[in-house]
Chains A and B, each alone.
Chain A
């Protein structure tokens, strides 16, 4: 498997240094230090709604799912236990994907034949991830999540995307499953025939991705899109849309597990989902007036910050 990498530029290095200095100045237990007995019950859910509103606004232009921002940030800055944060995170990822689904399918930005086999693999493993996640001590989950979030940030910095990958020959499995189609390039108006390869490797990768999604309560768009685009050769926009559909199914299976085990609290989950959904609607309009690359860099900095905070919190620092 080959990936296109780009060297970090000056901005990336400055951002990383800034984040490191900022982190050292902030105590990891800030949220817990605020005496919970001194605030009314509605204060933190309201703050959560507002925070998720802003997260939703930047997630869309940056091209990341809300879940990957939600879990580390809420887990680090709010007094909720990681079990409930992850349960809410899964619901956020699932709800966002469900809301976008009809439009993606009707406009041909997602393909069911591509989605279904991969979603099946991810759905099964996400249950296993959820089971492990609720069984592990919170600090182990925090440490693992911190490392993963940092890895996601590095991935976002270094990995390039290919708008229309060239697939010379589809593999036998994709031919047998009928995974191919015609994608309309909305900019040029051209119809582009697409096919995929490395389908078996893709299935294995989606098993791993589904597991991580269930374990950490994050959406897996950060991994789905590169896997579809760079490994399997799916056009970028189709990869992003199909990723959302895959998420809607794999997150559902993990969400059921969290719900049945009492790990979803409506007082946390509902403000998160509604804040994120409303913010995302505005974020979609921001794309018109702001450069996506600027917001994407802001999100990378936030992810670096949140990743290290989560790691430090897991280490008890």
Chain B
């Protein structure tokens, strides 16, 4: 308890958001993957083909399968291989959610430095998530 009183309040808030977002991500990861490998969701690339494909480079793999890149997978969640990416996307987005959650605290305490650092971090993560620098 003594330790918690010495902690910055935004740190505890970050921890709480991180806990729940990470839990959601892991649950989605496991559930969708089980649906994928047990065939409860049909796969875009048949699982039997995977041993012939996973040794290829990314560009060769995409060419062989015709899989679109970027956020196209979001419109194909009925396929197990793309549904499985939902959990990965949630986990990758946890940091964004946590940083957004603590920014009001920095704004309220007029801590411009850390507000700007948080804003820049969100910009970096969103730019990466948007696929602006995609090579395919």
Interface of A is mostly: helix
Would you call B69 and A108 a contact (CB within 8 A)? Answer: no
Q: Which of B54, B56, B71, B87 lies in contact with A268, CB distance below 8 A?
A: B54
A272→B89 CA distance, assembly (Å): 16
Q: Which of B12, B33, B91, B121 lies in contact with A119, CB distance below 8 A?
A: B121
| CB neighbors of B among A79-98 (8 A) | 79-81, 83-84, 91, 94-95, 98
Q: Which of A124, A176, A269, A277 lies in contact with B88, CB distance below 8 A?
A: A269
Q: Which residues of B contact A41 (CB under 8 A)?
A: 47-51
Among A146-154, A222-230, A247-255, A303-311, the stretch that binds chain B is: A247-255
Q: Which of A42, A106, A116, A259 lies in contact with B114, CB distance below 8 A?
A: A116
Q: Which residues of A contact B127 (CB under 8 A)?
A: 127
A267 within 8 A of B: yes
Would you call B3 and A261 a contact (CB within 8 A)? Answer: no
Residue count of chain B within 8 Å CB distance of chain A: 68
Residue on B nearest A277 in the bound complex, by CB: B26
Would you call B133 and A81 a contact (CB within 8 A)? Answer: no
Among A1-9, A13-21, A56-64, A130-138, the stretch that binds chain B is: A130-138
Residue count of chain A within 8 Å CB distance of chain B: 69
Q: Which residues of B contact A270 (CB under 8 A)?
A: 29-30, 33, 84, 87
B62 within 8 A of A: yes
CB distance from B110 to the nearest CB of A (A): 13
Q: Which residues of B contact A138 (CB under 8 A)?
A: 57
16 more A-B residue pairs beyond the given contacts A41-B47, A138-B57, A252-B128, with a C-beta to C-beta distance below 8 A: A36-B55, A41-B49, A79-B54, A81-B58, A91-B91, A103-B15, A111-B11, A113-B8, A116-B121, A249-B121, A257-B128, A257-B133, A266-B33, A266-B84, A270-B29, A270-B30
Q: Across the A-B interface, give the 9 residue pairs with the lowest CB-CB distance, nearest first.
A: A266-B84, A260-B131, A105-B15, A256-B128, A102-B19, A36-B51, A270-B33, A83-B58, A253-B128
Selected A-B contacts with CB under 8 Å, 11 pairs: A37-B52, A81-B54, A99-B22, A101-B22, A102-B18, A182-B6, A255-B92, A257-B128, A262-B62, A266-B84, A274-B29
